[in-house]
């Protein structure tokens, strides 16, 4: 099967993977874990609410990290700690002869400091900025740990559970980048992000983000008329970007997200800045659109200068975000494991479109990685009107639990489906 978008009705699972999950279905210990996760649902919701009400604005996740570290320690994980970047994690020790997997959810939100993150409940639905993205992911991880501890399942490989910083916006995946830089022994990774339990994501959307500033002499709109304007140069650039043609497949996009500059209505602007977001599911296409746009930015400065017979306008282009594109082979055992895990809890698995999550980084490094979701349903995430419906939310932790057991193996039941790094 070619690597790319795979249709669910075409997906094939190997006999090897099917056999592992048949053993899980027949194991009272594994099934006890599944039952526990359903029974633990209200505890998970309580965790989700408490986590959400600890603010974690961009670049200020420390308070939530401290709280989440305490929650991880309370589950009984070993080696619970905070690293130099602010990530917090602990280890569920395996038997010592299997792969080492990292599972994390991002702790940061997109909301500015001072945003009211108090959770309000109405008719069973939870309302609050960040309640689904990503308080749900953090809470789901805690429930999975409790299930492992409750059943005393002996995994073959180690599982590291944690919360990471800097996933949103200009955080630029700094937490996950730091973790994989400092931990060279990770054999696989699961990002817990989003809520729809049926979804498996093996495609990572890459992005390049720029802060672009045009500068000129500036002056009075009447007395200095005839000199070039930084805002006019910026406008030329935006118009050119708006006309760029990008492929539909692999999906490649662009947007000017914010624009600032100028002094007053009767001033020729001395400075104007925009933030530009470029994305693609293909690293090659991302680089192509980036090269095109970079050329247009300089053309805009040259045209504004030429309009006024000047050389005063300059442009400064600063890279402020770099998320690599990536892809996990959809035929890999780890993806098949997630597929059958979904079926095992009575859901119809589906492959999600390319997305931008913490899984981007390990995928780009060639480390097996996917994104799974925390369960439930949601709408309006990244907005003040965000809400989360916990109905059947336990499906998310159940799927993560079963997927992990397939990856790392269970002593006396199954060998790991994930290979150790040095054997790949």
Domain boundaries, the chain: 8-204+325-423, 206-323
Helix or strand holding residue 95 (H, E): none
Residue 379 has pLDDT above 90, yes or no: yes
Return d(Cα 384, Cα 386) in angstroms, integer: 6
Q: What mean pLDDT is reported for the chain?
A: 96
* CA atoms within 13 Å, Cβ hemisphere of 91: 12
The answer to which of 30-34, 47-51, 419-423 has the lowest mean pLDDT is: 419-423
Q: Are 256 and 238 within 8 A, CB to CB? A: yes
Q: What is the pLDDT of residue 423?
A: 46
Mean pLDDT of 2-9: 57
pLDDT bucket at 424, cuts 50 / 70 / 90:
very low
Q: 54-58, 158-162, 280-284 — which is least confidently predicted?
A: 280-284
Q: What is the mean pLDDT of residues 374-397?
A: 98
In the structure, what pLDDT confidence band is assigned to residue 5 with cuts at 50, 70 and 90? low
Q: Which CATH architecture has domain 206-323?
A: 2-Layer Sandwich (3.30)
Confidence of residue 163 (pLDDT cuts 50, 70, 90): very high
Return the higher-pLDDT residue of 98 and 8.
Answer: 98
394-412 pLDDT, tens per residue?
999 999 999 999 999 999 9
pLDDT of residue 1: 31
> In 252-313, at which residue ranges do the beta strands (DSSP E only) sit?
252-261, 267-268, 271-280
**What DSSP state is assigned to residue 111?**
P
Residue 97: what pLDDT? 86
CATH level 2 (architecture), domain 8-204+325-423: 3-Layer(aba) Sandwich (3.40)
pLDDT for 168-210, tens place per residue? 989 999 999 999 999 999 999 999 999 999 999 999 999 999 9
Structure confidence by residue, pLDDT tens digits, 231-290:
999 999 999 999 999 999 999 999 999 999 999 999 999 999 999 999 998 999 999 999
pLDDT given for residue 409 in this prediction: 98
pLDDT band at 6 (very low <50, low <70, confident <90, very high): low
pLDDT at 301 over 70: yes
346 pLDDT more than 70: yes
Q: Which residues touch 157 (CB under 8 Å, ≥6 apart)?
A: 94, 97, 98, 99, 100, 101, 187, 407, 408, 409, 416, 418, 420
User: What CA–CA distance (Å, rounded) separates 45 from 389?
Assistant: 10
Per-residue pLDDT at 99? 97
User: CA angle at residue 259 from 256 to 264, to 5 degrees?
Assistant: 160
Q: Given this model, what pLDDT does residue 3 score?
A: 42
> In angstroms, what is the C-alpha Rg of the chain?
24
Residue 313 confidence (pLDDT): 98
User: Which residues are within 8 A (CB) of 184 and not within 5 positions of it... i.e. 6 or more apart?
Assistant: none
Query: Averaged over 372-395, what is the pLDDT?
Result: 98
Question: For position 421, what pLDDT does the model report?
Answer: 77
At residue 62, the pLDDT reads 98
Look at residue 4 and tell me whether its pLDDT is greater than 60.
no
Residue range 365-385: average pLDDT? 97
For 177-198, letters b (16+ CB in 10 Å) and e give: bbbbeeeeebbbbbbbbbbbbb
Helix (H, G, I), strand (E, B) or coil at 90: strand
User: What would the mean pLDDT of 152-171 be, rounded to a whole number?
Assistant: 97
């Amino acid at each position: 099967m070619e690597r790319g978008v795979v249709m669910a009705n075409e997906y094939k699972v190997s006999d090897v993977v099917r056999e592992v999950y048949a053993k899980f279905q027949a194991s009272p210990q594994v099934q006890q874990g599944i039952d526990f996760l359903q029974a633990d649902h209200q505890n998970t919701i309580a965790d989700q609410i408490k986590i959400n009400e600890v603010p974690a604005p961009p670049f200020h996740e420390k308070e939530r990290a401290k709280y989440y570290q305490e929650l991880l320690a309370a589950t009984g994980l070993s080696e619970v700690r905070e690293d130099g970047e602010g990530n917090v994690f602990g280890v569920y020790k395996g038997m010592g002869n299997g792969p080492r997997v990292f599972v994390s959810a991002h702790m940061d939100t997109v909301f500015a400091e001072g945003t009211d993150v108090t959770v309000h409940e109405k008719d069973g639905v939870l309302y609050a900025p960040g309640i689904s993205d990503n308080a749900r992911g953090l809470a789901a991880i805690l429930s999975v740990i409790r299930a492992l501890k409750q059943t005393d399942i002996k995994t073959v490989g180690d599982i590291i559970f944690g919360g990471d910083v800097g996933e949103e916006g200009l955080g630029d995946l700094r937490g996950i980048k730091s973790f994989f830089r400092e931990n060279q022994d990770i054999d696989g990774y699961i990002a817990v992000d989003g809520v729809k339990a049926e979804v498996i994501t093996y495609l990572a959307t890459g992005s390049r983000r720029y802060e672009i500033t045009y500068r000129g002499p500036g002056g009075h709109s009447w007395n200095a008329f005839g000199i070039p304007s930084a805002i006019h140069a910026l406008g030329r650039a935006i118009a050119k970007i708006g006309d760029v043609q990008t492929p539909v497949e692999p999906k490649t996009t662009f947007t000017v997200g914010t624009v600032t500059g100028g002094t007053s209505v009767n001033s020729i602007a001395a400075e104007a800045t925009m933030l530009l977001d470029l994305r693609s599911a293909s690293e090659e296409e991302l680089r192509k659109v980036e090269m095109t746009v970079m050329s247009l930015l300089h053309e805009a400065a040259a045209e504004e200068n030429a309009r006024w017979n000047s050389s005063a306008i300059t442009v400064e282009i600063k890279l402020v975000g770099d998320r690599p594109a990536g892809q996990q082979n959809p035929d890999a055992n780890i993806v098949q494991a997630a597929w059958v895990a979904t079926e095992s809890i009575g859901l119809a698995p589906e492959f999600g479109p390319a997305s931008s999550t913490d899984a981007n980084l390990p995928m780009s490094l060639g480390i097996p990685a996917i994104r799974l979701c925390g369960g439930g349903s949601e709408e309006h995430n990244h907005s003040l009107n965000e809400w989360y419906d916990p109905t059947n939310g336990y499906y998310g932790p159940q799927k993560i639990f079963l997927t992990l057991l397939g990856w790392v193996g269970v002593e006396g039941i199954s060998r790991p489906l994930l290979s150790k790094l040095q054997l790949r």
